[in-house]
Structures are given as structure tokens and as C-alpha cells.
Chains A and B, each alone.
Chain A
């Protein structure tokens, strides 16, 4: 991928003699090396599962049945209650699979086509898809009890995350309910099914992880790139900025931001991105410092290329692998930050489906302890953070020339 790379395919030659004839770029060889570990593969499998749950959430957990026959008529309440975001996610996944199978296109063109499709779908879906505003989650349960339902295909988990089980309200047996046959992971304080909330929470985890890391990496590349390329007083100034942001403990900075700004998901993403860019900037700076003296950079400058081109077309592709390491740890940190904020009750709005919010409810005011509210969401946060850390770690090992003799 990186045309100017000098030590291309060196890493893969040593350990994969079967692929000797296949030459890879530096980045590709690093990724290949990292993927050869089973720990990385397991981590990717878990992240894949989380991503699957995030995309297909309404088909996995829904109070509305997927298919139902009422008074002789078939209908799909789950489909009519899909939101624009639900539809966009599914279309995005299928279109990305199709695009990746077009071999003739370059990666950049593929990414461009994907972005265009994504934006177009989102815009169209936003205007076309108008799900009913009032959602009677108990409607089909009541219809079934009345005996008007002849046939029904419910979702695997027949509860939506904001379904408060109003029809099953019980004075003698207050919420939260312990796990049982109908609620595998139990319910939380408001009667929401924990498993269904956890499935929808995958969306928040994935989107916060990627978008806030994207923001952080973007700022990190700009600041770190300028520091590493220009050196001198730009570097001095930039390092002070990095130091300032690094000195205030991230969580205090996050809390201060949360105290000042209104709480919605986009704000939380922006805040986590704004507080997390320092390590990316350090990485990019170190890489640019190393590369700026090399011949291909001098050649690019001598050819009269504009600064934009030197920085982002010649230097950046060669610094991508370390950025990948830093971004991988960054995603873990961002997911953790979001769940800490939700745990403290200061992050997302209180009705958002988030793992941290469930964890928050596990220790009651009176000293009671709801194991299922601590166990499953905590395990989900842990596994996700652990997976990204394992991936980051193996990418770093793959980059390390000492561990990886050429």
C-alpha cells in the first residue's frame, strides 16, 4: 500500500516461507504478522460479534415480532418500526461487502464509494422512513393474550431496550428482576430487559469507540505532523500543548467538559476525542521526526510539491502503522471513558442504552447487590476493552524490529 516504503514485506518473509513470492507493503506485513496470533483472532471475533449485534440489533432484540398473523393478515411490525439509523446500518454493511468484492478498484476509490452510499442512504432514509412516534411495546403481548394472534415469529429476544414492561407491573415483585427463563440476563430498575439493552449498547460502544478515536487521530495527525515536520518552535509549542493536556488527568478533563456542555451522544464523542489526542500526536511526531530526513522526503520537496502533498501523501502513509497501534489503544480508552461517564451518571442521557449505565445500577442504595447487573455489562466492557488492547499490543509487537528479526 505504501509505495515509498523501503523495507517492504520484510516482516512477512521471515516467518511465512509459503508466501515468499507474495510481496506486501510495510503496513500490510505488520497487520499480517499481528493476525498470525490466535489472541488477535479471538479478539477480532469478539469485536465482530459486538459489531454484528450493533448492526442487527432491531432483528435480535425487539418487542415487535418479526412476523405476525393477526385476524388472518400477515404483517411485520418489526420492519415498520425500524428507524432511519437501523436501515442505514444494514444497508451500509451489505454495500461494503459488495464493494470489497470489486477487485478492480483501489482502496481509496472503494472508501469513497462507500462513503457516498452511506451518506446517500442516511439522507434518503431520514426523509423516507417515518416510524410511528408512539410505541406500544406491550401491544403484541396483549394481543397474544387475547388470542387474536394466529401465528407469530418473535425476535430472538422479544424485548426492546426501552420497553418498561408496563403490562407486567407487579407490586409484590419490584424491579429489577433476577435472570429467569423470559429474561435471560434479568431486568434493570425500570424493567428494561438487560440482554436487549446490552445488544443495543453495542451501537454506542462501537460508534463512540470509532468516532471519538477518529477525532483524536485527526487532531493527533495534524498537531503531531506539524511538530515532527517543522521542529523548532512549532515543536516546542506543540509539546507544551501535549504536556498540558497530558497533565490534567483525563477523567477530570472529561468531567469538567461534561459539567459545562449539554449531554448528548455527539457531544460525548467530541469530548472524548478532544481529550484523547495527545498519545496519537506523540506517535505521529516521533514518526515524522524519523522520516523527515530520508531521501524520498527530500525528493518530494525538491520536486516542488506543495506542503500538503509532502505531509499527507508522502510522510503520512509511512507513519500509518504506529498510528494504527495508537488508534487501537485509543478505541479501548474511548469505550472505557464512555462507560465510566455513564457509570458516574454524567455521560449520555439517562435513557440511552449503555453498558456503564447498567453497571451503575448494580449496587443499590440500601447496600443490596444485583449480580446480573454487574456481571454481564461489566464483562462486556472488559472483553471489548481487552480485545482492543490485545490487538494494539500485537500490532506493536509486530512493529518492533527487536522482536521481529528481519
Chain B
């Protein structure tokens, strides 16, 4: 990784981190889609960025029916990934300490927790890929979604983002391309300049801080741009609705688009379209385009088809007024410096954009595990 650190973690880290790094353990099965012998791993739960890991419960089934007494609950990450997170947490603490000391303040446990400002830390999950092995974490998934990525200069090039089930490739590509166009429109209006073609295109060789800063600028552009024409939903979730749109105007009407645009003058460095009705419509269209790239789970069309053919979207999406990035830079830098991949930039051009996700790409053989022959032939499923 371009900015992997070789220096040892500080040998005089804050005493409270030693308490945070005391773990509790639980043993869980590794997810698989069919019944048969299972692998089991030991999870380590501890305080990371001020939070303990979210727990999950799964249960054994046979012939589709739940089997009593087979319920398991676990939380945390595997021992190997735990050590990486310990190192990352010390790195992140360094950044926090440097910042507060430059202000003449003293680092503290509560201060560090507040500074990290993380609401949810999710590690092991009973589903496929790295989460199943406890080798991945998601940070505040609600506000750090999987968003489209790619270069605006290369419409035919690979674009990253969430894989939506039941959508043909053309539609998926169109959704991602439309999002990139929205980023560019938002950027131009908010910053008064053209967005760099690679603002949302980064890879494993890139410096974390620089990549983060580029994406953060786009995030803020999206937040401002969307909020000019829409109100922020309460829980960052749009259940198939179009969002809470502002009325166009007039300028004297509190909460209208024209009034908001006027009041937000210092935020808008670009020149809005002379025809403000047209500008208003563009933002509304862009908002709809963008939300389709910021889904919860898997996006489905009620009647499969092209996105521009009046398809009705079944699945809820996130609210573009929230943007897509609330993890602070120092956390992303620290995790990557400790050896993690960041889903935003390390998954490859066709899959980048998973803002919440940090992991280590390990096979189960690289993780301490045990075997469960599963003589009863149970199939474990998430409860």
C-alpha cells in the first residue's frame, strides 16, 4: 500500500487504550450457503473507536425449520484482524493527540471517543466474504454507503459501486454513470470549478489522505447540492419515495429552493443556471439519479428494465442530502496504514466505493479456526 507505515506504534500510548484492548471472546460458525461441515472461528470483541462491536445471532435449521438450542450469538473480529485494529487504533489516537495538543488541550478517553464520532462498528457478520471470517469491519454503514466510483473522463471505463441484483449490466452501468454526472454537476455549482476526472477514482497505490480529501470534497458538494432542493430525511432512508422536495419559490417563501439558494450564497461558488427553474429541475433529476446508487442492500426494479424507462424501484435507498462520507480522514488513514484495505479505493475499479468497509483479504486457511463436522446436517441462517 502506498502509505503503509513502517514505524512502530507509540510505546507510550494512552493508558485507556490498554483497557479498550481487553477482549471478550465468542466462537461462531463461518457462513456458508449449504449444510455440511462448518469452520468455526473465535471472535474478539473490544472497544474500537469508542464502541464495542455489534453482535449478530444465527440459528440452525433443518428442512427449513429452526432447530431449538442451536442459536449462536457473536461479536468482534478474528484474532489476526484484531491485532491490525489494535495497531490502527494506536495510529488513530496519535492523530487525535496531535490535533488536541496543538490546541493546548490534553488527550483523554472521552475526548478520543467524541473525536472519532463513530456510532456503529460492525465486524463479523453471518454472511459471505470477509465479514464471515471476522476479517472486516463496517463503520457507520448508514451514512457511509456503497457509492458509484470511476473517472468522469472515461464513460466506457470500469465504474465501481454496489452490485445490484436483478439489474442487467446496462442498467447498472447507467446508474453509476449517472451518479458520476451528478457528482460533477454538484461540484461545479458548489466549488465553481470542474471536478477532477479522478476525484472519485482511486486505487491501492494512492495516498489515503489525498484520496480521502478528494472524495470528501465531492461528498460536501453532494450534501449542499441536494439540500438546496430537498429537505433532509430523519433517518437517511427513502422508501421508494422521491424524497422531501422543497417548493421552487418564490424567494420570499421560507424553505423554498429560491430562498435557500439565496441564503446559501456563501456555499455556492459556482454560477447557477440563469433559468433557476431549470437549475431546480436539474438538481431534482440528479437527486433521483444519485439515490439509486446509494442503496440499502440490493436494488430491485419492480418491473425489470432500463432505469430511464419509468421503472419503479422496490428497494429503499439512502438520502443524498446526507452525502456518503462521515468517517473522518484520520480513521481511514490509520486503518489503511495498519494494513487494511478500504472499500472506497482498494477493491479495484469495478468494485470501489464501499465507503464503510475495511478488511483484510484472507482465506480461511490464514485465520485460526476449528472444524465442526455438523453431524446433524444443520444449515445455519441469520436470525
Check if A and B associate. no
B positions within 8 Å CB-CB of A: none
